[in-house]
Structure 1
């Protein structure tokens, strides 16, 4: 299951409350989830997961798959079952899928902007995700054509500015290298182009040029050995993606893919 059952149960408990007086609609019905705007689909299997937890009698038939583009008026899925159960799950489904589609749509826009300049640069997310929704948001980034980046702190070692401030660049890298498995990559965040070669010489597999102008990133990339990957991050917008893609950097990571994505407007219509 994309989302853990306990997470879905928490969503439903939050929304249903203790006394839903509208929970009195009789009979069975059919409902459709319809796009009210253009975008990229993500999280479509959340509907099946939510409704299966809520009521086993509900069936869901997706009309599209994650990664597909939809236009205003397109049907994303059809659900059939007890009317009261469909209506009780409506808001959770619309909120979750709408948010996922928003992340996928924003990611697709960033990838499209990057492809104007480079066919190889990756657009990646960050750990700036909504607590409890990381699985949903990371999958949405992939649906939009992006890269998840690290999924959590155990997925890759990242030596950040605060580590360097406390330990020094070389000592921080050496310490983390000694503690990490041989299978784990080490990424090091630097704040000036000249620190890139230092990080590489100390053992970095990836150098992250943080909060730099495109010109500074380009200078930093030029100084790195060929076997070290480069990444740019920090305040990069969809509008400035082409400038950073032109620097020759391997990865552009953007927290805004998740923390600033607007939900895709969706409508849940019964009686269809």
Structure 2
């Protein structure tokens, strides 16, 4: 479970209902009692239920969770239901629905990708980057976890990852060993990942022995060549692949024997359809 603050929940709600529900108010039905049910229209992975529950609870409602995040369900399964006044139900309706639809979409894509990777390589891990849509990073984290994925790095402060854009500003950009030694001194508790853009860089990087060499936009053939370079070096460095890794090609990369796959693709998955039905009680 990820904790969402009152501020974050209020932001979601106020984006849609900053001056109340004009339609409900104009119809004079605000005090009418109703029941609201959220169903996953198609079969698949569930995500966003905890956040939707928290949003509805903020409105003074007492929603009931029927399916937990991370579970696969049949089409038409009820995920969440709640009873209350129409003004409360309509205020929370779209905010909760959109959270569920977007999170289920991300979780479904992640789950599909994880399944494909692990079918080819049971030890494979799909890890998502910090390149999420602005404002959605925490929701994205919750959805990726519900999909069986991992988080590569949720922000700049979490891990050490040296890009070419870092090295260009160093006095000796190609002195890989110097970079690795400095990082081990400055951050002894953190693993060191260095990104490689070419096979020539991989050949130099293995000598510096970072914990992970991240292969950026490498073809499958180049990944196999990188593994050969690493094997010859005798180093225990791990390889990861990043850049363009998605649901369509992950299995092919997994068959190389690499076990860590870095991706942003799930964040841009199509949302899943969540059916919302409000009936009087």
Do both proteins adopt the same fold according to a TM-score greater than 0.5, normalized to the shorter chain? Answer: yes
Find 2:208's aligned residue among 191, 202, 205: 202
CA contact (8 A) 1:210 1:234 kept: yes
In structure 2, relative to structure 1, the CA distance for the partners of 1:109 and 1:52 (3 Å cut) is same
> What is the distance in 2 between the residues matched to 1:147 and 1:261?
17
- List alignment gaps of at least 5 residues for structure 1: none
Deviation per CA, 1:75-118, whole angstroms, max 9, x where unpaired? 11111222210111111101111111111100011111112211
For 1:248 and 1:222, how far apart are their aligned partners in 2? Answer: 12
Match of 2:221 in 1: 215
| CA offset digits 1:106-154 (Å, max 9, x no partner) | 0011111112211011111111112222111112111111111112111
1:162 pairs with one of 162, 165, 169: 165
**What does 1:25-36 correspond to in 2, within 5 Å?**
25-36=30-41
Check if 1:186 corresponds to 2:187: no
Whole-Å Cα distance in 1 between the matches of residues 193 and 57 of structure 2?
A: 41
Q: Choose from 32, 44, 58 the match for 2:49.
A: 44
SS at match of 1:194: helix
The 1-side partners of 2:92 and 2:20 are apart by 15
2:147 matches 1:144: yes
Residues 229-263 of structure 1: per-residue CA shift (max 9 Å, x gap): 210011122121111001111201111111x1111
* Aligned mate of 1:262, from 267, 270, 275: 270
Name 1:271's counterpart in structure 2: 279
Tell me, yes or no, if the aligned pair for 1:7 and 1:132 is still in contact at 8 Å.
Answer: no
CA distance in 2, matches of 1:28, 1:115: 48
Residues 159 and 191 of structure 2 are in contact (CA less than 8 Å); yes or no, is this contact kept in structure 1?
A: yes
CA RMSD of aligned residues (A): 1.8
**TM-score normalised over the length of structure 2:** 0.89
1:106 maps onto 2:109 in alignment? yes
1:175 to partner: Cα distance = 4.2
Greater Rg over alpha carbons, structure:
2
Q: How many angstroms apart in 2 are the aligned matches of 1:150 and 1:211?
A: 18
Distance 1:47 1:19, change over 3 A: closer
Equivalent pairs counted in the alignment come to: 268
Native 8 Å contact 2:21 2:87 kept in 1: no
- Write the distance in 2 (CA, Å) between the matches of 1:19 and 1:104: 31
Distance 1:120 1:257 in 2: 20
- TM-score normalised by structure 1 residue count: 0.92
Shift of 1:203: 4.4
CA deviations over 1:19-64 (Å, ceiling 9, x no partner): 53224322222111011222211121112211122x22x1111111
In structure 1, the partner of 2:8 is 7
